[in-house]
Amino acid sequence: YAPTPSSSASSGDFLHCLSASIPSKLIFTQSSPSITSVLAAYIRNPRFSTPGTVRPLCIVRPTNASHAQATVLCGRRHGVRVRVRSGGHDYEGLSYRSVQPETFALVDLANLRSVRVDRARATAWVDSGATVGELYYAVTKASGDQLAFLAGLCPTIGVGGHFCGGGFGLLLRKYGIAVDHIIDAVLVDAQGWLLDKKAMGRELFWAIRGSGGESFGIVLSWRVRLVPVPPKVASFIVPVSVNDGAVDVLTKWQEVGAALPDDLFIRVIVTNGWASFQSLYLGTCDALLPVMRGRFPELGMNRSHCREMSWAESVLYVYVGSGQPIPVTDLLNRTTSMDTSYKVASDYVRRAIPRDVWAEIFGWLAKLDPGIMIVDPYGGAISAVPEAATPFPHRGGVLYNIYYQNSWAAGNDGEPNVRWIRDLYAFMAPYVSKNPREAYFNYRDLDLGRNVVVGNVSSYNPDDYFRNEQSIPPLVPVS
Ligand code: FDA
């Protein structure tokens, strides 16, 4: 192999090499009429779909592992790097664009999306190109609504990127996060080898479960342990306006959110003038009401707020947040709106934020609608896992995670919105985790830093083949 790709990439030879092993209908080059639509199909943030965006030299859409292996081997031989895209939800678009001019091929896993559920063993194999919605749908159908998987809320998130970076959702207090339940995986490494858990070894298997796949290879599929859920769960959405005491209720929520029984998860969507409390309870409304009256009466949650439904329905109910039931088949919908661009950031809170500060935060949210904060409680199972068990270290002692987002109409530059989020992030510094100030890997934020490439080396991978702007830097110099 050529040791590392360089600026002297030979694009023609690379494409020729690909065509020897991969059917031409799976390769989209600059001259293919459909390359633009194939690229756009899984761009979720229109901010990275502009004439100035650095695009791939070509896109390969593997239908089996050998196509991914061949792309890596050809890339190594002819000096072309690859980036991998599963669901395309990377908040900075790093799965399909490069920040600096760079020649790269895109391996797009949209064709590798099967889900095979083994109900008797309560496990499933899921390909990286499936969405979490497709996984949830298959699991709920195969188990008669009695098994679930614990990953993110947005059904269109790709399994590949999501699992590589952690993956949390409504079941995090009861069962932890996606990576806590991954029991095997199949990966193409920088030599083009196809490795399962045993073949890749303990360290690599540890690393791909939370520190990002982009440093290590192409994860093609995952074996996951499923978890039991009651056939009916309870859910509520209770919006509280600032005029009706949202600041006090939110201040109290900080004490109870991470300390409630593990069966109960209550997150808060904080927007201009409102705090909306959204919940999943693994039980009935009758059982939930006394818990709420005893532990969190300040919210004023009552019977009229509570609905019972299957776990899979609760994902959509909470995600859409309209208060109306959504058909479970919507979990299979892969399309998302391309009307708005967005920028996000994140924080972890280990000590409750004072009431006066929450009042100021509402001032920030009033400054630039549609700024939003999503506050997810920890505690329970997510916090019980030892910090070093996986690369996701936000465990014991975390009260909650904060997600900050601002968005703007696609086509605008969003400069005031990006500035807003940076200013709010600076304002929050005294009130959030410190030394280090923690952030969630999957809420990708290039403001936190980028790799500096020196001598064409940036990443941990000994061959330095897989890398992006935030992949893991080398521990040892690469010769
Ligand atoms: P994408 O394909 O863009 O990949 C993301 C990164 O992983 C890139 O660096 C990519 O190269 C790498 N990668 C992708 N597939 C790989 C593979 N097979 N092998 C190796 N590397 C691979 N998170 C959360 O925990 N809970 C939540 O509820 C939500 N909700 C949510 C909603 C919305 C609308 C968005 C846009 C995002 C979220 N997220 C989230 C964050 C989400 O977990 C994060 O963006 C994931 O990386 C998305 O995975 P995709 O496969 O879709 O991204």
Please give the Cα distance from 437 to 211 (Å, whole number): 17
List, for residues 232-251, the tens digit of each pLDDT value: 999 999 999 999 999 999 99
The token duo for 371 is 């700024």
- Ligand 1 neighbour 442 (Cβ under 6 A): yes
Entry field: residues in the chain: 479
- Parallel, antiparallel, or unpaired: how do β-strands 340-349 and 400-409 relate? antiparallel
> So what's the pLDDT on residue 2?
37
- Ligand 1 neighbour 84 (Cβ under 6 A): yes
Please give the Cα distance from 442 to 86 (Å, whole number): 13
Distance of CA 235 to the CA centre of its chain: 23
Per cent of the chain over pLDDT 70 is 95
- Ligand 1 neighbour 263 (Cβ under 6 A): no
| 295 alpha carbon – ligand 1 mean position (Å) | 35
- Ligand 1 neighbour 43 (Cβ under 6 A): no
| 89 alpha carbon – ligand 1 mean position (Å) | 5
CA angle 252, 298, 176 (to 5 degrees): 55
Ligand 1 atom at minimum distance from 156 CA: 52
For residue 460, pLDDT beyond 90: no
* Burial (CB count within 10 angstroms: exposed 0-12, middle 13-18, buried 19+), residue 124: buried
Q: At 346, which helix (H) or strand (E)?
A: strand 340-349
Alpha helices in 208-262 (DSSP H): 246-256
For residue 370, pLDDT beyond 80: yes
Q: Whose CA is nearest to atom 40 of ligand 1?
A: 152
- Ligand 1 neighbour 145 (Cβ under 6 A): no
- Ligand 1 neighbour 160 (Cβ under 6 A): yes
The ipTM estimated for the assembled molecules is 0.99
Name the nearest CA neighbour of 137 among 121, 149, 125.
149
List, for residues 147-183, the tens digit of each pLDDT value: 999 999 999 999 999 999 999 999 999 999 999 999 9
Ligand 1 atom at minimum distance from 167 CA: 25
pTM of the model: 0.96
List, for residues 10-53, the tens digit of each pLDDT value: 899 999 999 999 999 999 999 999 999 999 999 999 999 999 99
Task: Compute the average pLDDT of residues 211-215.
Answer: 92
Ligand 1 atom at minimum distance from 336 CA: 34
Task: Compute the average pLDDT of residues 181-208.
Answer: 97
> So what's the pLDDT on residue 1?
37
| 285 alpha carbon – ligand 1 mean position (Å) | 33
Task: Compute the average pLDDT of residues 374-402.
Answer: 98
Q: How far apart are the first and last CA of the chain?
A: 14
Higher pLDDT, 260 or 454: 260
Task: Compute the average pLDDT of residues 460-478.
Answer: 74
3 state SS of 428: helix
Q: At 362, which helix (H) or strand (E)?
A: helix 355-367
Distance of CA 14 to the CA centre of its chain: 31
- Ligand 1 neighbour 46 (Cβ under 6 A): no
pLDDT averaged over the chain?
95
List, for residues 273-322, the tens digit of each pLDDT value: 999 999 999 999 999 999 999 999 999 999 999 999 999 999 999 999 99
> So what's the pLDDT on residue 9?
62
- Ligand 1 neighbour 166 (Cβ under 6 A): yes
| 292 alpha carbon – ligand 1 mean position (Å) | 34
Half-sphere exposure of 269 (CA within 13 A, CB side): 14
Q: Whose CA is nearest to atom 6 of ligand 1?
A: 161
Identify the residue whose tokens are 């390769």: 27
